[in-house]
Chain A
């Protein structure tokens, strides 16, 4: 199901109320012209699945945090920030999963330069 970024929080709440209480994964795909963030939700009682797709522009990408709705979103959102450079708004700045990186392009983007030397934080 395609969702606009602005409608994300409302849609997530609706899903939770409909019984989709289990968050399976938040991930993202870098199609070079756009960045798609995917939320996999599941209803444990009926086994139904639902996917929310949010399309973002690759420049200044950000999504609101759904941590207050789904507690499991915490670490997944950290991973989004880390790997894709997508800012998560509405929560305290997530601690990076892999720490002590400095000055690297988000690795899972397609414009990541292989072999570019970087200086690790000390």
Chain B
């Protein structure tokens, strides 16, 4: 990583204008590869963690420690037939998932992964990230409404309702972070934690943000989409196997994004001694992802109306309290 960093930096510092574009491009490719590798690793990690919680081993046979298991599963999924229901809108339905994936990877691209360089190094990058993040419910709605299936429509409506409700507490929390850091630039927020991580200033904020992020990621205990007994698979009901690969990948990409965000906003991002910044960031993000997955192994699903109550009546007031604390501090 260190070599890559300095290579990028030296590339950018060289006089020719093309090198800047090349540097940005190289960074984007690097982030893309990082996302793929980490997503794959998160998939393996989830299966292992859930399995250990259930007193079993998880994948062990395919590859050392079962690392190649997900590769085998994805290959199997890709080999299946792809079909669309008759009443589905072909264009919208086929495009919804790739757009969501592109959005998720773009969001990761905007995040400050390394100290010296990044796309998100401008004044209101935090706001931009969240504005783009709010596009997710739109795509979910499109995917559900265009699939020509009653289950998918109802499922997407429920998901959208939940996602929209839980965005508000998150926005309040990031406003409070901006107040603490006196800037909305993501890089500045991470840099401002060099004396003390923000989790110690705003523990309530982290609590609200963690739970809201679980809801935004549609993960347990808010995984209405995966309620097998209820609406089959929510807005994903009609995606056939190859596109389902995309959906799973999207799931892990969003989890990666969520963990990265929490690591940056509350735990100091790339700050840390000895190791290069990116390594620290990944370690912190993986620890947060570990807890996200542990919640999945142990939580019971909540009913939709309780989910909405939690978002509006509990988390939002807590987020407001958090904002007040941020003013005081």
The reply, when asked whether chain A contacts chain B directly with Cβ atoms under 8 A, is no
Q: Which residues of A contact B (CB under 8 A)?
A: none
